[in-house]
Structure 1
Amino acid sequence: MTRVETTTDIDAPPETVWSVLTAPDRGWDPFFVRLDGRFAVGDRLRVRLSDLGGGLRFRPVVVVADPPHELVWLGRLLLPRLFDGRHGFRLDPLPGGGTRLHHGEDFRGLLVPLAAASLRRTADGFRAFDAALRERAEATAHV
């Protein structure tokens, strides 16, 4: 297994961060060009990554949806255990009304060792996403 993870503090409450994270408007997002669907366990999302994520399109299944605390989906390349990604966001409240965002993905499968270089770039994409989410959520919270 290979894990890519970032952590970012956001000066906005978890409810605000969640609403920005799950909104269909992705104009602010440099990583997920498209991220929509019902954020409910068992539902499929429509995801398209920007060039930061290799431009991939996929239809992961939501495995955890606990607003405004946690969202996790499972994506697969063709067959189980070939290249699986369990992608998640956890929003922890901070004293003073802020949020600590934990953003990560666990990659498993036969092809994961062959994707090591692209997985390092994935961390850059996560950091770009986190910074943009922080900016958008803080602007929304302070209106």
Structure 2
Amino acid sequence: MAKEITTEIIIRSTPDKVWSILTDFEKYPTWNPFITSLTGKIETGKKIKVNIVPPGGPAMTFKPTILKNVPRKELAWLGSVFVKGLFDGEHRFELTDNEDGTVRFVQRERFEGVFVWMFNPQKTKDGFELMNRKLKALAEK
């Protein structure tokens, strides 16, 4: 079984500016209401540490592995709860230059595993949307 969340927003900015905000992890606590902390190197195969706070939900910490890092285009990681296969989440940030002074920012996650059926993704989706709006506000300054 699998569940997927996809959110997107159009940002009046450049891919460079959006990417620089998105990958400046030290500043996440000052602006990001959903991913409140992210530490580690964004190199394929490396582990990072991610703290999230879904609106109305408990704070959680994950240690996913970077799957893909294409500067100004895509960042993806895969995390598991306890053991791979029980509850796994593949998270992606995607940037598309619309070549009209705007960037399409997509944030998505695909959840798979034995316990996915128990998961209600609404709070996580709400967190994505909050983060997207804050990223837009910063990048459009």
Q: TM-score range by the shorter chain?
A: over 0.9
Q: Note if contact 2:14-2:102 (Cα within 8 Å) is conserved in structure 1.
A: yes
- Is the CA contact (8 Å cut-off) linking 1:22 and 1:36 kept in structure 2? no
Which residue among 63, 66, 73 is the counterpart of 1:69?
Answer: 73
Contact 1:83-1:112 within 8 A present in 2 as well: yes
Q: In the TM superposition, what are the counterparts of 1:32-51 in structure 2 within 5 Å?
A: 32-51=35-54
Structure 2 alignment gaps of length 5 or more: none
1:115 equivalent in structure 2: 119
TM-score (norm 1): 0.92
1:35 deviates by 1.4
How far apart are 1:51 and its partner, in Å? Answer: 4.4
Aligned length in residues: 137
- Retained in 1: the 8 A contact 2:54–2:123? no
Aligned residue for 2:104? 100
With the length of structure 2 as denominator, give the TM-score of the two structures. Answer: 0.93
Unpaired runs of 5+ residues, structure 1, are none
The share of aligned pairs that are identical, in percent, is: 32
Let me know the Cα RMSD of the aligned residues.
1.1
Question: What one-letter code is carried by the residue in structure 2 that aligns with 1:75?
Answer: G
- Provide the C-alpha distance between the structure 2 equivalents of 1:54 and 1:107, rounded to a whole number of angstroms: 18
Partner of 2:87: 83
Distance 1:132 1:61 in 2: 25
The 5 A counterparts of 1:117-136 are 119-136=121-138
- Measured against aligned partners, the alpha-carbon deviations of 1:78-100 in whole angstroms (never above 9, x if no partner) come to 11110000000110001222210
Residues 1:56 and 2:60 are matched in the alignment: yes
Task: Name the SS of the counterpart of 2:9 in structure 1.
Answer: strand
Residue by residue over 1:98-136, the C-alpha shift from the partner in whole angstroms, topping out at 9 and shown as x without a partner, is 2100110000001110112xx111111100000001111
Give a deviation string over 1:44-74, Cα, whole Å, max 9, x none: 1111012426300111100000001000000
d(CA) in 1 for partners of 2:93 and 2:54?
21
